[in-house]
Amino acid sequence: MERRKGFVWIALPAFLILCALGFWQLERHKQKQEYSARLESQTNVQTSPLPSSNQWDAVDVDAWEHRKVQLQGVFDPSREVYWFNHREIFGAGFDILTPLRLRDGGWVVVNRGFIATPSPPQDTYIGGSQKEITLTGSLRKPATRRWFDPANDVDARLWVVRDLAAMASWMDIDPVAPWFVHAESPLSLDGAAAHIATPIANPVRAPVRRVNHIAYAVTWFAMAVILAVMFIVYIRREE
C-alpha cells in the first residue's frame, strides 16, 4: 500500500506537468500564428510618415510595430552603440545602432545594419557631412531585460539587450521614439555607402523563429499517455 501511495505521488504530478507542457506548446503555436498574421498585415501596409514626437506618448506602440515608415533627420555617430546579435545565415556579429535627430527635435535610434565580425566594429563611418537624409525602415519594439541576461559593456558601447530606455539614457537623447527603426538598406552618416565594413541590410520582414510547437505538444501529450498507461499497469499488478 505504501509503495502504491508513493508511486501515485510521483506519477500524478508528473502527468499534470506533462499535460501542462503540451497545452503550453499549443498556446505558443497560437501566439506564433497570431504574430505571423499581424506581421503579414503590417508589412503589407503602405509606407507612412513616422508619428511626430509630440504623439509618441499617446501612440499605440504595438499597433505600429513592423509598420514601414519614412523619416528625415541627421545622424549623430558620436552616440553610436553596437548590439551583439546572431543571424542564422551569417553567425555572430553586431548591429549598428545610431541615433537620428529628427526635424521636430525628437530622436529615433536607427538600426543601420549588421556586421558579421567576432570583435566590435570600429569607426563605422568614414567622415561624412552629417547632412539631413531621408530613410525608410520598419518599426521594432525594444526588448525587456531578463534576470539571466549578461550585463551590457557600456564603456565599450557593447549592448547585449536591446533596452531602448537604457540606450537612450546612455546616449543622452530625449525625447526618443518608443521603437527602433530598422533601415531597409545599410546607411552611412550622409546616406551614402561609405563604411569601412559595409553592414548587411536588415530583413524587410522580421524573422520568425521556426519552431514546430505542434510536434512538441504531441511529444508531451504522448509522454503523458505513456505515463498513464504505466500507472494503470502498475496498479493492476499490485492488486
Is residue 133 located within the same domain as residue 216? no
Is residue 177 located within the same domain as residue 96? yes
- pLDDT value, residue 192: 46
Peptide bond into 175 cis (omega under 30): yes
Is residue 80 located within the same domain as residue 139? yes
The distance from CA 16 to its chain's CA centroid, rounded to whole angstroms, is 32
Reading the block at residue 12, the C-alpha cell is 500524478
User: What is the average pLDDT across 100-124?
Assistant: 83
Indicate the pTM of the whole model: 0.69
Range of 81's domain?
A: 67-183
User: What is the average pLDDT across 195-221?
Assistant: 65
**Residue 219 pLDDT exceeds 60:** yes
Q: Could you give the CA distance from residue 90 to residue 100 in angstroms, rounded to a whole number? A: 27
Is residue 33 located within the same domain as residue 78? no
**48 lies in a domain?**
no
Is residue 79 located within the same domain as residue 174? yes
Q: Could you give the CA distance from residue 9 to residue 18 in angstroms, rounded to a whole number? A: 15
Q: Could you give the CA distance from residue 81 to residue 123 in angstroms, rounded to a whole number? A: 11
Domain count, the chain: 2
For the chain, give me the number of helices (H) and strands (E)?
4, 8
More confident residue, 47 or 120: 47
Query: Which band of pLDDT confidence, cut at 50, 70 and 90, is reported for residue 122?
Result: low
| 183-195 pLDDT per residue, tens | 876 655 554 443 4
Which residues partner with 138 through β-bridges?
68, 182
Which residues partner with 137 through β-bridges?
69, 183
Which residues partner with 134 through β-bridges?
72
**Residue 54 pLDDT exceeds 90:** yes
